[in-house]
Structure 1
Amino acid sequence: MSTTYRHEMPGGATWSATVPAGRSITVTALGPDANASLLLFASDRLDRLNLPDTLKAQMSACVRPPMTLMSDRGLALASVTHSTLAWHDCLTGFGHEAHLARFAPTSYQVDRNDWRRPARSELLLELAKYGLGEADLHGCVNLFTKVAIADDAAASLTWQAGHTVAGDTVTLRTEVDLLVVLSTAQHPLATFDHPVAGVEIAVGPAAPVAADDPSILFRDETARSLEMSRRVLA
């Protein structure tokens, strides 16, 4: 992929950009156990990522190629065209203050640039740049993170350490004009208390969607979501 934009995000940071349809967004983990919480909005704000519909329509409990990330109206906002990992978490959501409270107290006055903040706070600050707020938060995809069923009576979810190594990548193809928002804050179920790895973002042109595109052939519902996006752009 030729790259027209490249940005390196440290751990505990946020990033956002409006990305036109027909672009490829590759996110690369810069260290082990990276986590990047992803929100997606159509640029006209009529659609936003709907993970329950995305998972139900494509019979999955995680995000992986060649799934599409669907909106409230069933449009494909983006397609997962490539990933070195077969699992990206979309069940646990983003971290809150209570998740950080399990560890040692943290503040800017004490920790300066190492001050740790939950993804929820970071995402709200980023959304405010676009006139969006708390009501616009939705279920996120935690890129590079895997969760599994714990061996306990409650069958709770547990974070899987070692799922990601430096150099792991995931690539999305934008199917409509998007507002993309990312936070590299710690995953809410992570069991370690140290700075998380950063990620690199590379944006460039995507190849046209062919008739034998893996996402079109994956499931009827996936193909239908891509067709609905095509009609919106027509």
Structure 2
Amino acid sequence: MQQQVIGQGAIYQDVIDGASHWSMVIPAGKVLSLTDIEGGANVSMLFYNPKNLLERYNAPDTLKCQHTFKLTQGHCLYSDMGRIFCSIIGDDTHWIDSVGGVANKQKVAVKWGKRDYQTDRNNWLQNGYDSLLVEVAKYGLGKRDLAANINLFSKVKTDDEGNLSFVAAHSKAGDSIQLRFEMETLVVLTTCPHPMNPATEYPNKPVNIALSEAAAMAADDQCLNSSAENGRGFENNRRYSCQHTHHQHAVVVGA
């Protein structure tokens, strides 16, 4: 297990309020730790290659190549070029939602009422879709660039008939998820509530984020070895890094 302690050796740390959005270009060789402060948080997240913004997170490839419906420690998050943006090296929740998406303005209005910033100021009810759209616009991206996202700290399960249901109180206060970045990545996220959250009041849950240095990846690394496809993904990263050696960290995978 390669979980890193939150805040230990952090080179950057901040609290992202609920119903907010945030982004950062994270270099390879860094660990982004996210911690649910109060319990019941949701972080909707997307990934892009800052050197080629056409390359972005691919949910179908991520799931099918690792033969999973859920994501958790030991899994990797893939781009649509077959490369690995980051590896999940720690997950206290044991289940990251991969299919729930984000709520739009209409869904939030139906579930929690209609408020806007012009009238309600900081008490307005932001939605995940517009929140992500505002953040990606800072990089020249728009609606067509919002791919299917993941939802950290949220769990959506399925029954034998394929019906989806949201698991309330999945994440507890202090639960943490660590992502180790395998290539330079533009991370875009929002802390707006999950679209399937049945809460009667709008969930406004903050999250702590911390950035730290990753340890070198060893030959017995869980993410590297959890599926044959992941080995190929890391090889794709290695080949890609030959073009950008001054941005890539050393990776030790054995002989």
Q: C-alpha offsets along residues 111-134 of structure 1, whole Å, 9 cap, x if unaligned? A: 321211111101110111111111
Distance 1:215 1:229 in 2: 14
CA distance in 1, matches of 2:60, 2:203: 30
- Equivalent residue runs for 1:1-234 within 5 Å: 1-44=8-51, 45-102=53-110, 103-149=112-158, 155-192=162-199, 193-234=201-242
**Offset of 1:197 from its aligned partner?**
0.9
Alpha-carbon distance, 1:110 to partner: 4.2
Q: Contact (CA 8 Å) 1:33, 1:196: kept in 2 or not?
A: no
Q: Post-superposition shift, 1:109?
A: 4.1
In the aligned structure 1, how far is the partner of 2:118 from the partner of 2:24? 30
Amino acid across the alignment from 2:212: G
Distance 2:188 2:25 in 1: 9
- 1:8-31 CA-to-partner distances (Å, cap 9, x unmatched) read 101000000111111000000111
Partner amino acid, structure 1, of 2:148: G
Work out the number of aligned pairs and report it: 232
CA contact (8 A) 2:114 2:125 kept: no
Q: Which residue identity does 1:98 align to in structure 2?
A: Q
Question: Offset of 1:195 from its aligned partner?
Answer: 3.4
Q: Which runs of 5+ in 2 are unaligned?
A: 1-7, 243-255
After TM superposition, give the deviation of residue 46 of structure 1 in Å: 4.5
In the aligned structure 2, how far is the partner of 1:24 from the partner of 1:48?
19
Provide the TM-score with structure 1 as the length reference: 0.95
Write the distance in 2 (CA, Å) between the matches of 1:17 and 1:46.
Answer: 17
Q: CA deviation at 1:62?
A: 1.2
What stretches of structure 1 of length at least 5 have no aligned partner?
Answer: none
The AA in structure 2 aligned to 1:222 is N
Computed over aligned residues only, the root mean square deviation of the Cα atoms, in angstroms, reads: 1.5
CA drift of 1:7 comes to 1.4
Q: 1:83 and 1:157 mapped to 2: Cα distance?
A: 22
Distance 1:231 1:168 in 2: 35
- 1:47 is paired with a residue whose SS is strand
User: Do 2:115 and 2:125's aligned partners in 1 also have CA atoms closer than 8 Å?
Assistant: yes
Residues 40-49 or 161-170, more deviating: 40-49
Give the whole-Å Cα distance in 2 for the aligned partners of 1:199 and 1:118: 17
Provide the C-alpha distance between the structure 2 equivalents of 1:109 and 1:73, rounded to a whole number of angstroms. 41
- Indicate conservation of the 8 Å contact 1:114/1:195, yes or no: no
